Amino acid sequence: MSCDTPAAPRSRRPFELTGWMVAAMLVLFFGVIVSVNATILTVALRTMPGVETKSAYETSQHFNEEIARQHERDARGWKAVATLARQGEGASLGATLADRAGQPLSGFTVTGRLRHPATSARDHAVALNERQPGRYEANVERIEAGSWILEWQAKRGEEVVFVSRSRVTLPEK
């Protein structure tokens, strides 16, 4: 009768943590951390560089003048209503301008800017045309849904006679 005896298990060499292994793990760990941080930083700076004006100092030098002009505009008592409505892929922008008595104000050159709250790369500049007395309109061909800052101004010649800034929301298609 034959008796099979199992072979004796080979002895394993015990795991040994060496200095080179620890060094490799540390380099790998911190390499992953640094590369993820660099990626996040790059994406953040590309989407919002943080620059609002080219020269904050020069802008600040004209601050008091701008405040005085705005008080002068406010004293006129003009009222404005702006609308932003979805039209296919784009949108229709409308602005109505009236005096203190509610009479339409016409004959102005009206320009506007739809500013994206997060990045100036998505901004849209528009020129509004007067469709009827006191009613100015423009179309934007392609625009994403969401919240926008609508800035527009009415000029008579070179003089800015009215400025408006408001938050508008454009719904999904």
Strand partners, 84: 93
Residue 93 CB burial class (10 angstroms; 0-12, 13-18, ≥19): buried
Q: What is the mean pLDDT of residues 98-109?
A: 89
- Whether residue 105 is predicted with pLDDT greater than 80 in this model: the reply is yes
- Confidence at residue 19, expressed as pLDDT on a 0 to 100 scale: 93
Cα-Cα-Cα-Cα dihedral of 139, 141, 146, 151, to 10°? -40
Whole-number pLDDT of residue 2? 60
The mean pLDDT of 138-156, rounded to a whole number, is: 89
Mean pLDDT rounded to a whole number for the chain: 86
Tell me the C-alpha distance between 50 and 119, whole Å.
9
Residue pair 32/24 in contact by the 8 Å Cβ criterion: no
Mean pLDDT within 9-37: 92
Mean pLDDT calculated for residue range 57-71? 84
User: Which has more pLDDT, 1 or 107?
Assistant: 107
